[in-house]
């Protein structure tokens, strides 16, 4: 349960910003109520595809930021004798920082597939 809430908060805002920035200005202006209902139905059907594309785009900077955990963890381990600095937190950050460049490479390789697949699902719906 905690993972799904974390994933929603991590990706939710970015997906909404991408949607509002790129999709709405293109031509989602409804003149009459019938067009508004049709537009709402199309947006509702294309939301999962846009979410998938947004997740693919957002994952790369997220993993790039995770790479900074390695130097953070090393500094935490060095300064562990000081108050308010825990050695175990340094170990955790170092471990995540070591894995982060590999996850970044995977995210970079997966991003085009996720974006094209997500936008394809949004258009074909």
Distance separating alpha carbons of residues 91 and 105, to the nearest angstrom: 23
Q: Which residue has the higher pLDDT, 112 or 37?
A: 112
DSSP per-residue codes, 7-20: HHHHHHHHHHHHII
pLDDT at 9: 61
Q: If pLDDT is split at 50, 70 and 90, which confidence band does 49 have?
A: confident
For the chain, the domain total comes to 1
- Which pLDDT tens digit goes with each residue over 64-103? 999 999 999 999 999 988 888 889 999 999 999 999 999 9
Q: What is the pTM of this model?
A: 0.62
Cα radius of gyration (the chain): 20
With vertex at residue 49, the alpha carbon angle to CA 48 and CA 55, rounded to the nearest 5 degrees, is 90
Range of the domain at 53: 2-124
DSSP per residue, 63-89:
HHHHTTHHHHHHHHHHTTTSTT--HHH
Residue 44 has what pLDDT? 77
3-state secondary structure of 24: helix
Residue 105, pLDDT > 60, answer yes
């Amino acid at each position: 349960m905690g993972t799904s809430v974390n994933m929603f908060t991590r990706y939710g805002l970015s997906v909404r910003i991408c949607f509002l920035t790129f999709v709405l200005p293109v031509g989602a202006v409804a003149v009459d109520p019938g067009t508004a209902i049709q537009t709402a139905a199309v947006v509702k059907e294309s939301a999962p595809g846009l979410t998938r594309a947004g997740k693919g785009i957002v994952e790369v900077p997220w993993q790039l930021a995770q790479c900074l955990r390695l130097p953070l963890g090393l500094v935490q381990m060095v300064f562990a004798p000081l108050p308010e600095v825990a050695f175990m937190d340094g170990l955790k950050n170092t471990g995540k920082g070591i894995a982060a460049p590999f996850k970044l490479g995977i995210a970079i390789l997966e991003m085009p597939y996720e974006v094209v697949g997500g936008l394809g699902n949004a258009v074909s719906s």
